[in-house]
Amino acid sequence: MIKRKTKTTRQKETRAAVVQLKATGSALKNLAAAERQIDLAAAEGAKLIVLPENFVYYNEKDLLAVASQERKQTGLARSFFAAQAKKYGIWLVAGTLPLFKNGDDSKPYATSLLYDPRGQESARYEKVHLFDVRVQSTGKSYCESDSYQPGDRAITALTSAGMLGLSVCYDLRFPEFYRLLVAQGAEILVVPSAFTAATGEAHWRLLLQARAVENLCYVMGANLCNRDHPSKPTWGGSAIIDPWGEVLAEMNDEEGYVIAAIDRQRISTLREAMPALDHRRF
């Protein structure tokens, strides 16, 4: 079920959307599914759209080959994202891709690219926290560092919707990382994700709301869905949270998108009334 809250758009508001996808083993099918949702969200007025983590090359085993194919901006996914951003005149947070950096081809980074309305790559964030865990409730183990190198920088980028703080999935469990983004001016925290069904059910919305409330920021979580997948179930539950922790829009376990208004004036008003960020002692 999709939950929506609509209101009259004010001058300082920007409509923003999170897209939820059920990824397949075909990059072309995954991009076509994303295109359908981008088209619908843009038609509803979205000027900022966030896509899920790792949806293009989902289940791809040879990430070195993918990173080589996507080395240039003419790569299959990178050229698609640029074309979509330019076609609809939107800011697009393009999930993640495995990309090399600085001539180091030993192992890629899980990289989230931000595209501006001209279709240019405006910012690049390499996922800092890699998911190397054993999920107790299912017994499944994950070791993202087998495939990726960790990034080492917190990245913010100014858009027409406000200052974005870029993050990915497992980053959500590290509040100090988001404080660093806020110290760099972040007003909207974007979280392309592929949260597992077990951890998502337990903590996904809780963590989105916590990061929103403690930082007085909007949080946009775009997740993969497919809770019934036999080996890699993902939670879905994509949502947009306001700086007071209110869920403005939320999905269940279906493909689609939800849209809400980002109101920068609300951020300012709440931060003035509750100046917790100024009251920090450590």
Is 282 a member of any domain? no
Helix 205-215, helix 175-183: angle, nearest 10: 40
Residue carrying the six token digits 């951020």: 267
Whether 4 maps to a domain, the answer reads no
Q: Tell me: pLDDT of 4 over 80.
A: no
Here the tokens at position 81 are: 């994202």
Encoded tokens for 106:
């030993």
- Which tokens go with 97? 């891709």
Which token pair is 46?
């979205």
- Measured in whole angstroms, how far is the alpha carbon of residue 282 from the centre of its chain? 29
In a domain, 279, yes or no: no
Determine what percent of the chain is predicted with pLDDT higher than 90: 91
Average pLDDT over residues 272-280: 96
Backbone region of residue 185 per phi and psi (left: phi > 0; alpha: psi in -120 to 50; beta: other values): left
The SS3 of residue 80 is helix
For residue 150, what pLDDT is reported? 98
pLDDT score of 5 more than 90 = no
The predicted structure's pLDDT at residue 6: 41
Q: Provide the pLDDT for residue 50.
A: 99
240 DSSP 8-state letter: E
> What's the pLDDT tens digit per position in 62-77?
999 999 999 999 999 9
Q: What is the pLDDT of residue 267?
A: 97
178 with 189: CB under 8 angstroms?
yes
Binning pLDDT at 50, 70 and 90, where does residue 7 land? very low
Judge whether residue 137 has pLDDT over 90.
Answer: no
- Residues paired with 115 in a beta bridge: 92, 121
Give the mean pLDDT of the chain. Answer: 95
Question: pLDDT at residue 273 above 90?
Answer: yes
The DSSP annotation for 9-62 comes to PPTTEEEEEEEEB---S-HHHHHHHHHHHHHHHHHTT-SEEEPPTT-TTTT-S-
Give the C-alpha separation, 203 to 57, whole Å: 25
Mean pLDDT value of segment 240-245: 98
Q: Is residue 99 part of a domain?
A: yes
| 198 phi, psi to nearest 5 deg | -70, -50
Q: Sorting pLDDT into bands at 50, 70 and 90, what band is 136?
A: confident
pLDDT of residue 1 exceeding 50, the answer is no
Q: Determine contact, residues 34/57, Cβ cutoff 8 Å.
A: no
Which residue in the block uniquely carries the two structure tokens 């990034």?
Answer: 151
What are the distances in angstroms from CA 271 to CA 99, 158, 243, 253, 267?
A: 37, 19, 9, 33, 6
**Angle 76-88/27-43 helices, nearest 10 degrees?**
10
In this prediction, residue 107 carries a pLDDT of 97
Bigger pLDDT: 70 vs 138: 70
Reported as a pLDDT band with limits 50, 70 and 90, residue 9 is very low
> What is the number of domains present in the chain?
1
Distance, in Å, from the CA atom of 261 to the CA atom of 48, rounded to the nearest integer, reads: 10
Look up the CATH number of the domain holding residue 95: 3.60.110.10
Has residue 116 been placed in a domain?
A: yes
Average pLDDT of 251-271? 98
Q: Is residue 121 domain-resident?
A: yes
How far apart CA 44 and CA 169 sit, in angstroms, is 26
- Does residue 280 form part of some domain? no
What tens digit of pLDDT does each residue of 177-226 get? 999 999 999 999 999 999 999 999 999 999 999 999 999 999 999 999 99
Report, in angstroms and rounded to the nearest whole number, the Rg of the chain calculated over CA atoms: 17
Q: Which residues are catalytic?
A: 53, 127, 169
- Domain housing 262: 12-274
Q: 3 pLDDT exceeds 80?
A: no
Both tokens of residue 135? 């999920």
In a domain, 171, yes or no: yes
